[in-house]
Amino acid sequence: MTTMRCVHFFLSLGLTTACAAQDYTTPDQFTFTVESDVLYGIDTNYLGSTDTLLLDVYKPIGNPDTERPLVVFVHGGTWLGGCKDDPAGIVPLIHQFATRGYVVASVNYRLGWHKDDYVGGAVAGFPPSLWPETYRALYALDSLEMKRAIFRGMQDVKGAIRFMKARAEQDSVCIEKVLVAGESAGGFVAMAVAFLDRPEEKPPACYALPDAPPPYANLLNATALNCEQDTYAVSGSMLARPDLGSVDGDLNSNGHSADVRGVASFYGGVPSDAFTQDWLQGADTPSVYLYHQTCDGVVLFDHGRPMTTISANCNLGSTPWHYNYPTLYGSGALANAYASMSAPPAYITDFEACPWFDWTQALFECSRYANNGSYHFTANHALRGANLSAWWAGIATGPSGCLSTGSPDRTAMVFAFPIPADNMLFLPGVDGSTVVLTDATGHWSGARTLTSGRIEVGDLPNGTYIARFPSAQWGPVRFVVLH
């Protein structure tokens, strides 16, 4: 690993930085810390109850860049389950970027949608079906419910992005280098975050609708927020389907936008509204990365109702559960749409070919799909991490307006990096030769020699510290040491 040397220039009107670019493409450069279960909002779910929304923050140790890129990851789970810290889900992709030096936020978001009021025949999860009981939760009321779930998830993730931008200095993040990525259902949410950004793009399904009828008694009204399953008896006001609000949501309206520079969709896609409401073009269009296996049996590579392959051909005697789902457009359809545009966004495809389901040999094909996860997963995380980090390299290392040269009073501020620190803490521009350090409890205090704008902290125990300076011009600065 090579550490790039940064040279800082201090002007009478403030601070500018000239820094050799950090490498954000080479894997396994850094270890990282995880700040778990950070509360970023509380909002109303599809039943009118409140959900507590949490995220995890991954921060590399030893990356000296003060303008690190931030990528917000969104888990999958059919808008019913999944979680931010599932080691079999989104976490392997997160590690690909945290070890490359990115700051990563992995988010939970509101889950759930109303169930069907009548299902004829056997229900998945009951005899004679062999599906797990939780498959009873897959029967949607109508084709609007998934669109509403995408919209709620989009509002939450936009709130999480604004939350992370507000704490950018704490994380040494550049708010001009923010990206979003998601798997499966999270890929749909990520694409909506990136492209659904004008009031006129709001899907008709997300305005007020008539109340849902009571759900069919044999269906499981369950969600698994934070990977903890809850089951509900639904009636009364819980059946309301109100207007879902603005395309920006109302979480963390702190003056920051939820704009992103790039979006990555792993076996996700968009609803038809992306075309009918014209999401996909505009002056602020971010770059796009699309990953998909071409024979995906959950989110179809081209377009169709999700889970059609399994639900229609391999339902083991249960009533198919896909029939009330909307038509969704996968990565192949998106790539074709971009190719046909006169001015498409910058985009790249990362497709893996696999043989499509042959319905004439359903018994054999159902076994093949069962043994291969319906081809709905990220194959080879290391390769996907290499491909996506190479695509994002220009954003991660490119110039930005992260540090202002605005008001004169910025000369009295102290910029410390990296946070967390490992062996060295940089305090560029601070005058004097001594820094007094105190741990957060106030039980320990000691002095350090300031040399060329930096101090050694490698001998300090892990923890939070306050640095104070002899000159009253410089206020105290809080930092974290983690080895």
What stretch of H or E contains 74?
strand 68-74
pLDDT at 407: 27
Query: Distance between CA 138 and CA 129 in Å, rounded?
Result: 14
CB 316 within 8 A of CB 129: yes
pLDDT-derived band of residue 425, with 50, 70 and 90 as boundaries?
confident
The single-letter DSSP state of residue 334 is H
- CATH fold group of domain 22-397: Rossmann fold (3.40.50)
Q: What is the mean pLDDT of the chain?
A: 88
pLDDT in tens, 399-421: 766 753 222 233 345 667 777 88
pLDDT in tens, 73-92: 999 999 999 999 999 999 99
User: β-strand 463-468 against 434-439: which pairing, if any?
Assistant: antiparallel
pLDDT in tens, 175-196: 999 999 999 999 999 999 999 9
Mean pLDDT score, 247-276: 95
User: β-strand 50-61 against 103-107: which pairing, if any?
Assistant: antiparallel
pLDDT at 97: 98
User: Phi/psi class of residue 19: alpha, beta or left (left: φ > 0; alpha: ψ in -120 to 50)?
Assistant: beta
Mean pLDDT score, 454-479: 77
User: β-strand 424-426 against 454-456: which pairing, if any?
Assistant: antiparallel
Point out the least confidently predicted range of 111-115, 362-366, 433-437. 433-437
pLDDT at 297: 96
Asked if residue 22 has pLDDT above 70, the reply is: yes
CB 205 within 8 A of CB 150: no
Among residues 82, 113, 283, the alpha carbon closest in space to that of 187 is found at 82
Paired strand residues for 454: 426, 451
Here the tokens at position 21 are: 């670019």
pLDDT at 4: 38
pTM: 0.82
Mean pLDDT score, 383-400: 91
pLDDT at 284: 63
Among residues 455, 382, 418, the alpha carbon closest in space to that of 4 is found at 418
Here the tokens at position 203 are: 């899907």
Percent of the chain whose predicted confidence (pLDDT) is above 90: 68
- CATH 3.40.50.1820 residue ranges for the chain: 22-397
pLDDT at 401: 66
pLDDT at 292: 98
The single-letter DSSP state of residue 159 is H
- CATH 2.60.40 residue ranges for the chain: 414-481
Helix (H) and strand (E) counts for the chain? 9, 21
Signed CA dihedral, 15, 16, 21, 27: sign only: positive
pLDDT-derived band of residue 431, with 50, 70 and 90 as boundaries?
low
CATH class of the 414-481 domain in this structure: mainly beta
What stretch of H or E contains 10?
strand 6-11
Residues making up the chain, counted from first to last: 483
Point out the least confidently predicted range of 20-29, 214-223, 266-275. 20-29
Q: Angle formed by the axes of helices 381-397 and 91-98, to 10°? A: 40
pLDDT at 20: 53
Asked if residue 12 has pLDDT above 70, the reply is: no
pLDDT-derived band of residue 441, with 50, 70 and 90 as boundaries?
low
Percent of the chain whose predicted confidence (pLDDT) is above 70: 89
Q: Which residue has the higher pLDDT, 407 or 299?
A: 299
Point out the least confidently predicted range of 204-208, 222-226, 397-401, 402-406. 402-406
Q: Which residue has the higher pLDDT, 376 or 478?
A: 376
Query: Distance between CA 456 and CA 202 in Å, rounded?
Result: 53
Asked if residue 335 has pLDDT above 60, the reply is: yes
Query: Distance between CA 94 and CA 472 in Å, rounded?
Result: 42
